[in-house]
């Protein structure tokens, strides 16, 4: 059934009223157990209010809503200044959950999906390795199938929230002698299993939200494989595809709110010579929003459109943060939300595929230029 404009207005009103009552007043802690407690409490509250898993099928505890409603939800979400969607629950709600719904067994879904939606567990993503980032297919972490178990040995790096997560979507090489995309498996790894060592890495913003993870003969039941053994590349591509869907809209809309905050700051301090720069940022944020809506609702959208959005967002986020620093002047030296954002924004053109890789994809897959 197609929803009418009146249905959308009513939904928006419902979302706005609930958010006004429920958004936490405190700023989310940036790392460690406090960030875990804060994020899980927020998901649990959303779930109790009927606002978790909006796009998930009803059979798995969601509301089965179409993308229009999810866009409206995120528009209201950022307007209410609700916690960032890129918090420790991001992987569980936006990667792992959707991957299990699409490709998991009924037993995997029955166990994990309620825990995720009710805000009881966190997940992290173990894809990147010291020698396999942009070129993910060169990963070497080994999984040896022995009876009804896989024994995992190797290392991952840059695993966000590894130290506070219960589960990991782990990509390993299970077929000896294979290379590149063949012979990989996507497995559910219990982060408390014996043989796992987690070493947090502190970034230049002072936060330790990602980590190195070492695996020394970690035993994972074969029943934790999602999809088929040795078919992990297909599952991983499905996981990465979810990242570029509706979840991305939350972070992109949030950027528009930041630009409006900067404009309000400039209005409160007349005489600052920022008008032209702020006008450009507002126009760029509007352009990004338009591009995202078009990608979400265009039948012919391809996974490569995600690269356009990702690149535009990442570079704009850095320009917005740099503008805030210039407006703050010497005050920027005092650690505050804008300064933290500015330092964190450096990673925007690395995480989720670097700017150079996105440009390669746009050049080759969208513009049809020769492959490098």
88-127 residues in contact with ligand FAD (CB under 6 A) are: 124-127
Count of other CB atoms within 10 angstroms of residue 68: 16
Which distant-in-sequence residues (6+ apart) come within 8 Å of 225 by Cβ? 150, 185, 186, 187
Q: Measured from the CB atom, is 125 or 155 closer to ligand FAD? A: 125
Count of other CB atoms within 10 angstroms of residue 81: 15
The catalytic residues are: 243
Residue 360 binds ligand FAD, judged by CB under 6 A: yes
Q: How far is the CB of 271 from ligand FAD (least distance, A)?
A: 37
Q: How far is the CB of 354 from ligand FAD (least distance, A)?
A: 3
Q: How far is the CB of 370 from ligand FAD (least distance, A)?
A: 14
Return the residue of 134, 138, 179, 197 that touches ligand FAD, per CB under 6 A.
Answer: 134
Q: How far is the CB of 113 from ligand FAD (least distance, A)?
A: 21
Report the chain's terminal Cα–Cα distance, integer Å. Answer: 46
150-209 residues in contact with ligand FAD (CB under 6 A) are: 158-160
Which distant-in-sequence residues (6+ apart) come within 8 Å of 51 by Cβ? 15, 18, 73
Residue 318 binds ligand FAD, judged by CB under 6 A: no
Q: How far is the CB of 346 from ligand FAD (least distance, A)?
A: 8
324, 337 Cβ separation under 8 angstroms: no
Bridge partners (DSSP) listed for residue 200: 211
> SS3 helix, strand, coil % of the chain, rounded to 5?
55, 15, 30
| Stretch near ligand FAD under the rule CB under 6 A, chosen from 40-48, 98-106, 142-150, 348-356 | 348-356
Report how many residues bind ligand FAD under the rule CB under 6 A: 19
Return the residue of 37, 41, 356, 366 that touches ligand FAD, per CB under 6 A.
Answer: 356
Residue 74 binds ligand FAD, judged by CB under 6 A: no
Return the residue of 186, 210, 215, 342 that touches ligand FAD, per CB under 6 A.
Answer: 210
Could you tell me the CA-to-CA distances from 133 to 40, 219, 372 in Å, in that order? Answer: 29, 25, 18
Q: Measured from the CB atom, is 146 or 180 closer to ligand FAD? A: 180
348 vs 121: CA distance, rounded Å: 26
Q: Measured from the CB atom, is 260 or 315 closer to ligand FAD? A: 315
135 vs 123: CA distance, rounded Å: 23
Q: Measured from the CB atom, is 135 or 228 closer to ligand FAD? A: 135
30, 94 Cβ separation under 8 angstroms: no
Residues binding ligand FAD (CB under 6 A): 124-128, 133-134, 158-160, 210, 347, 350-351, 353-354, 356-357, 360
């Amino acid at each position: 059934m197609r929803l009418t404009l009146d249905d959308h207005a009513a939904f928006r009103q419902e979302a706005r009223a609930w958010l006004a009552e429920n958004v936490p007043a405190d700023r989310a802690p940036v790392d460690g157990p406090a960030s875990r407690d804060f994020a899980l409490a927020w998901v649990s509250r959303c779930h109790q209010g009927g606002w978790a898993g909006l796009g998930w099928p009803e059979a798995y505890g969601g509301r089965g809503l179409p993308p229009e409603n999810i866009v409206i939800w995120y528009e209201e979400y950022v307007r209410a200044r609700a916690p960032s969607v890129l918090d420790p629950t991001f992987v569980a709600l936006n990667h792992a959950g959707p991957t299990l719904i699409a490709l998991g067994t009924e037993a995997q879904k029955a166990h994990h999906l309620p825990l995720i939606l009710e805000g009881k567990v966190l997940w992290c993503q173990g894809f990147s390795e010291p020698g396999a980032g942009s070129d993910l297919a060169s990963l070497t972490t080994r999984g040896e199938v022995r009876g009804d178990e896989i024994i995992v040995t190797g290392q991952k790096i840059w695993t966000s929230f590894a130290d506070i997560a219960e589960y990991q979507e782990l990509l390993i090489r299970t077929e000896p002698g294979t290379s590149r995309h063949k012979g990989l498996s996507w497995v559910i790894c219990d982060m408390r299993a014996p043989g796992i060592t987690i070493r947090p890495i502190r970034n230049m913003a002072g936060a330790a939200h990602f980590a190195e993870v070492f695996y020394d003969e970690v035993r994972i039941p074969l029943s934790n494989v999602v999809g088929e053994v040795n078919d992990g590349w297909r599952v991983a591509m499905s996981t990465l595809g979810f990242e570029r869907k509706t979840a991305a809209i939350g972070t992109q809309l949030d950027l528009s709110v930041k630009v409006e905050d900067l404009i309000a700051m400039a209005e409160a301090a007349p005489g600052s010579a920022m008008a032209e720069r702020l006008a450009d940022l507002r126009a760029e944020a509007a352009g990004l929003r338009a591009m995202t809506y078009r990608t979400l609702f265009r039948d012919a959208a391809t996974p490569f459109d995600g690269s356009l959005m990702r690149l535009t967002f990442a570079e704009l986020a850095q320009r917005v943060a740099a503008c805030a620093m210039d407006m703050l002047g010497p005050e920027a030296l005092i650690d505050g939300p804008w300064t933290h954002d500015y330092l964190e924004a450096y990673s925007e053109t690395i995480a989720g595929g670097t700017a150079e890789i996105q440009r390669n994809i746009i050049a080759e897959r969208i513009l049809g230029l020769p492959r490098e």
